[in-house]
Amino acid sequence: HNGRRPQRGDLIEIFRDSYQHWAVYVGDGSVVHLFILHVFAGFNSITVITQRGAVREETLRAVVGNDQWQINNSLDSTYRPRPADVIVTEARSWVGRTITYHSIRRNCEHFATEQRYGVSASQQVGATAGLGRLW
């Protein structure tokens, strides 16, 4: 973390072991983020994993844990950020909902950028793809 305090509407990039997790800072030390719900069903030694995502509001500290993180609004040069109140209201409107999670088309970074810019994009899965609303 670079020492700058996050502002409402900032995107938070969290460095996990093999990927980056993304969240939207909504103020008072809290973030809204999309995470994977793993549902396992075993059948004759075959395990099926259904990837469902859930949106939750939690403290930044709880989501980050011991990982490194940074404020990352790098797409501000490509897309115009929405007003902070709109970002926060939109992000919180998803809390408690479950949606399909797809690592390439609907991941936590897509969710976060959709809230900030109104456009779903991910640099993590290759070239940034501004595909409009995916939700």
Catalytic residue chosen out of the listed positions 1, 21, 102, 110: 21
Calpha distance 57→73 (Å, rounded): 20
Is residue 102 part of the annotated active site? The answer reads: no
Catalytic residue chosen out of the listed positions 1, 38, 108, 110: 108
CB-count burial class (<10 Å; 0-12, 13-18, 19+) for 36: middle
Is residue 33 part of the annotated active site? The answer reads: yes
Question: Which string of DSSP letters, residue by residue, matches 72-112?
Answer: --GGGGTSPPPPHHHHHHHHHHTTT-EEE-BTTTB-HHHHH
Q: Which residues are catalytic?
A: 21, 33, 108
